[in-house]
């Protein structure tokens, strides 16, 4: 494996990471902004109010995106196995 292949695998690994965590981060951001807006409108300044809804939404998004995550991980592993086999 030369340096170009190593850089391509590193780039693919970073894109895979973004693909896996992207939906959860976006959902968490949307929930955080909505709860922050709710807190600003009602003047409720409870710091722990955002944790439970964010955790629930992230868990739900994780369950819904598990097939996509599995497919992405298996495709990446197949690519790495190809590189290992072909040298």
Quick one: pLDDT at residue 45? 82
Left (φ > 0), alpha (ψ -120 to 50) or beta: where does 71 sit? Answer: alpha
Domain that holds residue 24: 15-86
Higher pLDDT residue, 67 or 3?
A: 67
Assigned domain for 56 exists: yes
Q: How many C-beta neighbours within 10 Å does residue 28 have?
A: 18
For 3-48, what is each residue's pLDDT tens digit?
A: 898 999 999 999 999 999 999 999 999 999 999 999 889 988 887 8
Assigned domain for 19 exists: yes
Assigned domain for 6 exists: no
Assigned domain for 77 exists: yes
Give how far the C-alpha of residue 57 lies from the chain's centroid of Cα atoms, to the nearest Å.
13
Assigned domain for 52 exists: yes
The domain tally of the chain equals: 1
Assigned domain for 8 exists: no
């Amino acid at each position: 494996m030369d340096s170009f292949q190593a850089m391509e695998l590193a780039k693919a690994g970073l894109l895979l990471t973004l693909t896996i965590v992207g939906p959860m981060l976006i959902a968490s951001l949307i929930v955080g902004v909505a709860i922050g807006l709710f807190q600003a409108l009602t003047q409720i300044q409870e710091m722990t109010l955002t944790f439970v809804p964010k955790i629930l939404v992230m868990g739900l998004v994780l369950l819904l995106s598990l097939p996509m995550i599995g497919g992405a991980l298996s495709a990446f592993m197949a690519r790495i196995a190809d590189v290992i086999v072909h040298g």
